[in-house]
Structure 1
Amino acid sequence: MKRFSVFFCVSVFLFSCLVESKAAPLKQQNDGVYIVYMGAAAPSNNGSMRKDQAQLVTSLIKRKRNALVYSYTNGFSGFSARLTAEEARSIAQKPGVVSVFPDPILQLHTTQSWDFLDSFSDKKISAAIRPGSASAQPSSSGGADIIIGIMDTGIWPESASFHDDGMGPIPARWKGKCEKGDDFNSSNCNRKIIGARYYPNSDDQGGHILDSGSPRDHSGHGTHVASTAAGSLVDDASYYGLAMGTAKGGSPSSRIAMYQVCQSFGCPGSAILKGFDDAIKDGVDVLSLSLGGSGGFKPDFTTDVIALGAFHAVEKGVVVVCSAGNSGPYRSSVVNEAPWIFTVAASTIDRDFQSQVILGDKTVIKGGGIHFGNLTKTTMHPLATGASLKLDNATRSDDARDCVPQSLDPAKANGKIILCETHDPNYGIDDQKDEVISAGGVGIILIVTDETRFIAPKFDTFPGSIIIEKEGNQVSNYINSTRNPVATILPTVTITGNKSAPVVISFSARGPSLASTNILKPDICAPGVDILAAWPTEADLNRAIPGKNPPGYYIISGTSMSCPHTSGIVAAVKAQNPKFSASAIRSAIMTTSIQTNNQNAAITTTSGETATPYDIGAGEANPTASIEPGLVYETETADYALFLCVTGYNTSQIKLISKTIPKDFQCPDKLTEDAVSSINYPSIAISKLKDGEPKTVTRTATNVGPEESVYTATIEAMTGIEATVTPNKLVFTKEKKKLTYKVTFTAPSSPKNDIFGSITWTSGKYRVRSPIVVSTE
């Protein structure tokens, strides 16, 4: 199998990598390659270079013929090139240059999931427009004209999820292309996959090995996310019979354009920027990026390639959806936090992969995990703890307890099912499973934390199950109370609808944003755990069952999976509301989201605590209600420019970056982070509320429902804080489609902890909710 380190490789205890690789750590930058960012594209917008850009590139090529890697001319201006540090410093001083920085290497961060989301629908919407509806046909809605661009590892075009049956002609406005390459030609594109590009020049010629010279996916990640966002309907899709159902993307009638910006060594920033540049020119409506940097670092928006590319895409009307990252549950671990990016956290669905453990005393424990072993209820085997099977010369007794390599004695372990613990984070499930196999064991039971139980590890054909600590105590007590303990582990079965969901998964990155506590991130939450979607059928990319062909579908987890779920919903909203701006679409999804689970209780995290906006943003995405939001908050380029002022850009730099801001725009002389709180965003975040000193934020709502509408405000009580809305009633008419209100917050004493609430505007038909965060930082 090709080794591929990805951002969905979640280090959650024993699940060190969900595609079972142990690749070397990613290089932090593309050695010798620098990105020269020059802001807005040439005014003509016909793909030509700006004069100052052309002069720099020409001068560079004269000195170093092969220095140029990419030029950016469509959505923005600039280039990437192989430079010395001195050359980079010199170019940074040239007129028209905004920033110069080393080329970073970023990391990559379904059937039942869409049925589960549909179950939350609180509006009756016809099957013809319900995203993910099994009865929807590709030609049944305007979604056929929506183009979702995917920046990822490429695509496996032969997958049944990319068939174009029933789809009409490719939209005439499409300007992209299907690039030929190794084992890939124009015939691999169709009316579903309408574009495919790849970026081989991102290699720095310093040792990186390209997976292929084509858009073909040799990882699986890109194929998985593309089918999640816009896969066509496929009956009886499954992973060897598990998660059986109709596979479908969030917008099955939308088109797909793949931009292969990632290779096995990671995702070079220079290629990501070129992907943005091409996608803007090609005419995509949505861009989905399941990738990003490492969490826990304050972003620098002069060097953040996703933020820079996304800014120009959003300026052109493209909705940019990004994964929040997998560095949770740690505070301030969220990435892709620029306010023009739609940032997505990950949650569970109501499906479990159960691998039941049956003890000799008939006790049944509903363990988890995926395996296709051949044990049955009647094939009981001796059961023992790893600690009791310690190899005599093992260095540490705890090693045998955890079943780490070279810790178990084959003479003692042979023929047994072994109970292992998981205290050592240096070893993962494959290490422990392999040790049990090498010692002659016939099955493995792993005791994990309650939070870890939410993800199903893969044991392949070896019988295996994960159980929580309480259940582990049951097994241990049984072993200790019985002279000849025995057990069996049954093959995995799929269970749906019988557990509280959604739950915010532990790996999902959390707020508050390090960019600014006055913008709430993440924005939304969507399914990202044990998601079934399309996968290449290349043998090396599959954990195939002996004697069976790869199934073409695979189950993986990560915010990489929640991102395309949201991208599919974005496409569905765009299809039904073609005049909505990028920010209006984001607002529609955020303000109609859900805060309760399928048990009608508050959504929780895997630790059992009530989820806060730092965990789920506005809430769990609602694919049906978002199509008719009632009101939207439109965030303008001037709002984003103000944010850039606060984060360190000056007026002249901002005017280089954007040509759509008002000509008289100036960064305020006296600027504090409080200004960010009044950006017209669908959520509200304020910070450092002091004793008795009020803070006021402003919002402008746009009516997209019936022309004559009246909305009344309700504030969710926030302990120790008084919040007043002025006015508390919005009366929209044919002439008044936009109305502004203010919310003033006052506290008699400075809050000691972050406080959460919401403001909800309701009419007879619509409910428009914005979360509120009052932070102490």
Structure 2
Amino acid sequence: MANHGFPLSYLLAFILILSPSFLCRGTDEERKVYIVYMGSLPDGEYSPLSHHRSILQEVTGDSAVEKFLVRSYQRSFNGFAANLTSRQSQELSNMNRVVSVFPSMTLQLQTTRRALRMKVLVQVPKKWKGVCRGGQNFTCNRKIIGARYYTSGPKHNSARDDVGHGTHTASIASGINVKGVSFYGMAQGTARGGVPSARIAAYKVCTADGCNSANVLAAFDDAIADGVDIITISVGLDYPVVFFKDTLAIGAFHAMAKGILTSNSASNDGPSRGSVSSVAPWLLTVAASSIDRQIIDKVVLGNNKTLMGNAVNSFTLNRSKFPLAYGKDISGKCSEREARVCDLGCIDSSRVKGKIVLCDVGDAYPEVYSAGATGSILKSDVDINVSEVVPFPSSALSPHDYDMVISYVNATPNPQAVILKSEIIKDADAPVVVSFSSRGPNAIAPDILKPDLSGPGLEILAAYSPVASPSDSFDDKRRVKYNVMSGTSMSCPHAAGVAAYVKTFHPDWSPSAIKSALMTTAGAMDAKKNSDAEFAYGSGHINPVKAVSPGLVYEAFKGDYIKMLCSMGYNEVNLKIISGDNSSCPKGFGKASVKDLNYPSMAAEVSSAKPFTVQFNRIVTNVGHANSIYKAQVVTRSEGSIKVVPEVLSFKSLKEKQSFVVIVTGKSLPAKSMFSASLVWSDGTHTVRSPIVIYTN
């Protein structure tokens, strides 16, 4: 987690490693930006921009199409973004060579100790084709070798990070070693990213309002052509969408076709079932889990009762106790209910000065801080156990403990309390998937298990933009070089860093081989400690050391994904446009299943209240020892039968492939339940584990 002396680009980091005739109808309608996706770039003589202008002129009836054209994607895939009416977008969607037309959406940031040392950086790799166009007050160096920005306006004319999110995520993936870092003395130690020797190309696609998907696609278009090796993008929607109306799925598909793996955050809408938005099988979808270091914040009441809460609070109060203020005592202009939740505009500064304010919600501290109170005690969501950086003494208590404080206030003539500075404790249960991390099953492709795996995403210390506030309060004037953040935004670059680490050892491996290595070597997690089990953590918790030598890998290439899309009923003509070749759906393939994609995990949705028999067909490639014999073992925590044919795989050479079949049978499952097991292939040295999930919805 490097301190570069200036902030990294905000949000989207790409890692480069050292590797060996119509009239103008509807002009009075409201216009908005639509993305027109046209698949792969055609071979031969073809001018994308000229074609984009031509068809845009056709639907608008206006020769001055530049006033409508927002962006032209022409380096790595084909398409454009334009200001259109809904009628014009429909006309475009009916044209030949147009795969899909959809509104440009706003994606959101997915945020609420590593140990790999590498040598110092030398020259920029010759394969790099990118540029440093970072704009105002931005300079590249041998670490940050490329920068672009896609935002516009007086405050958005630079790739500089003014929020902190991009600096933090890039630092996690590939920050260099820095000793003695902390957040005001907390979590002190040596900070380093997953691969400190990796280069960074930063592509700024976000503003404070979010991340425009037209900008995100433009960044993918450039990054693929620039020659990056790994993409990490910690943004997403709050819900899943079909693949070719999904900005991230589109960009990642073309990255995959060029040999680039994309790591994406699972999103922060857990623990709701089916909330994971990163669902394309060519994406590496990363859930967030805890680490063994936990940051807590204690509240001591006037009766000397001590309660443990959550906050990253760096402040020490200057006396032992302060008065507590609650409900009508903090507001003279709002209702009792509004006052108790500390609604915006309800807190009367004259009533809270010198006092600690109680709020019945867990995110009200910015309002309390702005009102000038001494501190705040908040009621945390029952499912949330996250310590956030606060701008003044504040602590979020569990509902049970918060209710104890309210009882104390109601029973005491002069209730008082003090909030202590945060401290670090050991979390023996880690790693556990955090409640905010989005869950499966996959709403778009139910027979693809998502998320794929979990990585550290809770209270992660990493580099931070020195121009951004460390908390969510705009009134917080502190500036730091390192900050503590939580979210799948943080787990995503952990996985990207491990992927880059694996690629340093295996520069010729495909994106799917790297992804398989990460998934099949992930540590098994305890379903008793993790609500939703595999729907929470996928294959398990990422293990960088074991991922380097997985033994066997499950590979899938562009043609395999096209066949999968055929089985989902995607239009064959559009699939040829997307693939850019003569790919076609095999005859009779309609009877095939998505579950037969050569994926490192196995999942299938079945009907409830009926017996089931499910068959998975898989192929593994030997990347371990040339002469090796792998034996199958099934580990299950559910009733049912699992048969593996054959039970032994014998390899005589590296890169040799062997196929096998897994047959799962069982009695009927109730609605919204799962049958869970694991298939483990082992040669005595390598352990290749794949989760098996049969479920009802």
1:482-506: CA deviation from partner (whole Å, max 9, x where unpaired): 666543222223x143442122112
- SS class of match (1:356): strand
Q: Is contact 1:360–1:380 with CA below 8 Å preserved after alignment?
A: no
1:445-504: CA deviation from partner (whole Å, max 9, x where unpaired): 22324532x2113332x32222223433554565567666543222223x1434421221
- SS class of match (2:245): coil
Deviation (angstroms), 1:263 = 2.4
Is residue 2:112 matched to residue 1:183? Answer: no
Q: Which residue of 2 aligns with 1:88?
A: 89
- Aligned in 2, Cα 1:385/1:301: closer, same or farther, shift over 3 Å? same
- Aligned in 2, Cα 1:270/1:488: closer, same or farther, shift over 3 Å? closer
Match of 1:395 among 325, 332, 335: 335
Q: Which residue of 2 aligns with 1:447?
A: 379
Q: Is contact 1:314–1:320 with CA below 8 Å preserved after alignment?
A: yes
Is residue 2:122 matched to residue 1:168? Answer: yes
* Separation in structure 2 between the aligned mates of residue 684 and residue 223 of structure 1, nearest angstrom: 36
Is residue 2:167 matched to residue 1:235? Answer: no
* Separation in structure 2 between the aligned mates of residue 319 and residue 633 of structure 1, nearest angstrom: 15
Q: Is contact 1:52–1:96 with CA below 8 Å preserved after alignment?
A: no
CA RMSD, Structure 1 to Structure 2 (Å): 3.3
Q: Unaligned stretches of 5+ in structure 1?
A: 1-5, 9-29, 116-131, 140-165, 204-208
Q: Which residue of 2 aligns with 1:489?
A: 419
Given residue 335 of structure 2, which amino acid in structure 1 is its aligned partner? T
Q: Which residue of 2 aligns with 1:158?
A: none
Is residue 2:360 matched to residue 1:421? Answer: yes
Match of 2:430 among 501, 511, 520: 501
1:185-225: CA deviation from partner (whole Å, max 9, x where unpaired): xxx1111101101224xx6xxxxx56322222222221111
Is residue 2:467 matched to residue 1:523? Answer: no
- SS class of match (2:219): helix
- Aligned in 2, Cα 1:222/1:664: closer, same or farther, shift over 3 Å? closer
Deviation (angstroms), 1:399 = 4.3
1:611-636: CA deviation from partner (whole Å, max 9, x where unpaired): 51111111111111111111110012
Deviation (angstroms), 1:272 = 1.6
Q: Which residue of 1 aligns with 2:617?
A: 698
1:718-760: CA deviation from partner (whole Å, max 9, x where unpaired): 5342111101111111277211110112224355422222111
Q: Which residue of 2 aligns with 1:118?
A: none
* Separation in structure 2 between the aligned mates of residue 260 and residue 545 of structure 1, nearest angstrom: 21
* Separation in structure 1 between the aligned mates of residue 273 and residue 476 of structure 2, nearest angstrom: 46
Match of 1:463 among 387, 393, 407: 393
Aligned length: 666
Q: Is contact 1:212–1:218 with CA below 8 Å preserved after alignment?
A: no
Q: Is contact 1:759–1:771 with CA below 8 Å preserved after alignment?
A: yes
Q: Which residue of 1 aligns with 2:567?
A: 646
Q: Which residue of 1 aligns with 2:35?
A: 35
- SS class of match (2:166): helix
- SS class of match (1:579): coil
Q: Which residue of 1 aligns with 2:147?
A: 196
- Aligned in 2, Cα 1:581/1:496: closer, same or farther, shift over 3 Å? farther
* Separation in structure 1 between the aligned mates of residue 622 and residue 476 of structure 2, nearest angstrom: 59
Q: Is contact 1:231–1:252 with CA below 8 Å preserved after alignment?
A: yes
Match of 1:620 among 541, 544, 552: 541
Q: Is contact 1:34–1:88 with CA below 8 Å preserved after alignment?
A: yes
* Separation in structure 1 between the aligned mates of residue 149 and residue 587 of structure 2, nearest angstrom: 42
Match of 1:334 among 276, 297, 313: 276
- SS class of match (1:503): coil
Deviation (angstroms), 1:529 = 1.8
Deviation (angstroms), 1:167 = 0.7
Q: Which residue of 2 aligns with 1:152?
A: none
Deviation (angstroms), 1:382 = 5.0
Given residue 255 of structure 2, which amino acid in structure 1 is its aligned partner? A
Deviation (angstroms), 1:293 = 1.6
Deviation (angstroms), 1:287 = 0.8
- Aligned in 2, Cα 1:496/1:545: closer, same or farther, shift over 3 Å? farther
TM-score (norm. length: structure 2):
0.87
Is residue 2:297 matched to residue 1:355? Answer: yes
Given residue 320 of structure 2, which amino acid in structure 1 is its aligned partner? M
* Separation in structure 2 between the aligned mates of residue 92 and residue 399 of structure 1, nearest angstrom: 48
* Separation in structure 2 between the aligned mates of residue 213 and residue 419 of structure 1, nearest angstrom: 41
Match of 1:659 among 557, 580, 599: 580
Q: Is contact 1:595–1:619 with CA below 8 Å preserved after alignment?
A: yes
* Separation in structure 1 between the aligned mates of residue 587 and residue 557 of structure 2, nearest angstrom: 17
* Separation in structure 1 between the aligned mates of residue 407 and residue 335 of structure 2, nearest angstrom: 27
- SS class of match (1:256): strand
Q: Which residue of 2 aligns with 1:129?
A: none
1:52-71: CA deviation from partner (whole Å, max 9, x where unpaired): 66854787884424333322
Given residue 542 of structure 2, which amino acid in structure 1 is its aligned partner? A
Q: Which residue of 2 aligns with 1:122?
A: none
- Aligned in 2, Cα 1:400/1:720: closer, same or farther, shift over 3 Å? same
1:297-317: CA deviation from partner (whole Å, max 9, x where unpaired): 4x2223212111111110110
* Aligned counterparts, 1:258-273, within 5 A: 258-273=202-217
* Aligned counterparts, 1:539-558, within 5 A: 550-558=479-487
* Aligned counterparts, 1:585-596, within 5 A: 585-596=514-525
Q: Is contact 2:172–2:194 with CA below 8 Å preserved after alignment?
A: yes
* Separation in structure 1 between the aligned mates of residue 307 and residue 230 of structure 2, nearest angstrom: 44
- SS class of match (2:490): helix
Q: Which residue of 1 aligns with 2:24?
A: none
Q: Is contact 1:37–1:79 with CA below 8 Å preserved after alignment?
A: yes
Q: Which residue of 1 aligns with 2:233?
A: 289
* Separation in structure 2 between the aligned mates of residue 489 and residue 390 of structure 1, nearest angstrom: 19
Deviation (angstroms), 1:405 = 5.7
